[in-house]
């Protein structure tokens, strides 16, 4: 019996993720998606979090998003290693945040997970990729298409592949992004 119970738990887990990534992500109701993400997926969201359609996740739990954040459409959040997002963060469309990978030098291609932490007032441009274990500090900007493989200091603007610092941002940030559009 224990083996049968384990199989049902695995099936339920896979069904929850399937529904999340193939049905719920396409529901044109922000409120219904957020409800599913909180109650069924176990994600923790602060006040006024907008998460537009099309975002995919890799597992239940391991995602915390602060207050007044906007996540645009078609992002991928690899939640296996954990993702923590601060307050007033804006993440553009098609951003990929990875928290898991493989050791290419390991003879058995050993897997690993490393948490990604994103500070307050961070802006991440379209199609940027954040690699496992990266910390993006307060007020930083990640340019569109950048591949971030190392920690980003406060208020730094980074871009390129691999991302390098290309400027500094104002420290006087007061915005609160949120745009839960109807039918998005």
Residues of the chain with pLDDT under 70: 1-2, 182
H runs (alpha helix) in 23-136: 30-39
The answer to the question of residue 175 being in a domain is no
- How is residue 94 written in tokens? 């098609």
Give the number of domains in the chain. 1
Quote the pLDDT of residue 1: 55
pLDDT of residue 34: 93
In a domain, residue 174? The reply is no
Which long-range contacts does 163-169 make (Cβ < 8 Å, 24+ apart)? 169/139, 169/140, 169/141
pLDDT for res 178 = 76
22-52 pLDDT, tens digit per residue, is 999 999 998 899 999 999 999 999 999 999 9
Cα–Cα distances in angstroms (integers) from residue 174 to residues 35, 51, 87, 122, 131, in the given order:
28, 21, 11, 12, 28
Burial of 174: CB neighbours in 10 Å, binned 0-12, 13-18, 19+: exposed
Q: Examine residue 16 and state whether it is found in any structural domain, yes or no.
A: yes
Q: The domain spanning residue 80 has which CATH number?
A: 2.160.10.10
Asked, for residue 179, whether it belongs to a domain, the answer is: no
CA distances from 168 to 28, 109, 156, 181 (A): 38, 38, 5, 31
Strand-strand pairing, 100-102 and 111-113: antiparallel
Question: CA nearest 152: which of 162, 54, 22?
Answer: 162
**Residue 141 domain-assigned?**
yes
Per-residue model confidence (pLDDT) at position 25: 95
d(CA 58, CA 100) in angstroms, rounded, equals 10
Is position 178 within any domain?
no
Position 183 in a domain: no
Whether 184 is a known active-site residue: answer no
Coil, helix or strand for 108? coil
Range of the domain at 58: 2-168
Rounded Cα–Cα distance for residues 7 and 13 (Å): 10
Provide the whole-model pTM: 0.92
């Amino acid at each position: 019996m224990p083996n049968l119970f384990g199989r049902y738990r695995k099936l339920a887990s896979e069904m929850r993720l399937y529904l999340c990534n193939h049905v719920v992500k396409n529901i044109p109701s922000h409120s219904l998606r957020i409800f599913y993400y909180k109650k069924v997926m176990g994600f923790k969201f602060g006040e006024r979090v907008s998460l537009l359609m099309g975002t995919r996740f890799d597992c239940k739990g391991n995602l915390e998003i602060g207050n007044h954040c906007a996540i645009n459409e078609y992002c991928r959040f690899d939640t296996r290693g954990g993702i923590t997002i601060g307050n007033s963060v804006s993440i553009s469309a098609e951003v990929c945040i990875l928290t898991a990978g493989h050791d290419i030098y390991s003879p058995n291609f050993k897997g690993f997970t490393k948490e990604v932490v994103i500070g307050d007032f961070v802006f991440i441009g379209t199609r940027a990729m954040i690699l496992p274990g990266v910390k993006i500090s307060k007020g930083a900007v990640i340019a569109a298409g950048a591949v971030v493989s190392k920690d980003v200091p406060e208020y730094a603007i980074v871009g390129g592949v691999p991302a390098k610092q290309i400027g500094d941002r104002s420290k006087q940030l007061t915005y609160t992004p949120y745009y839960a559009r109807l039918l998005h």
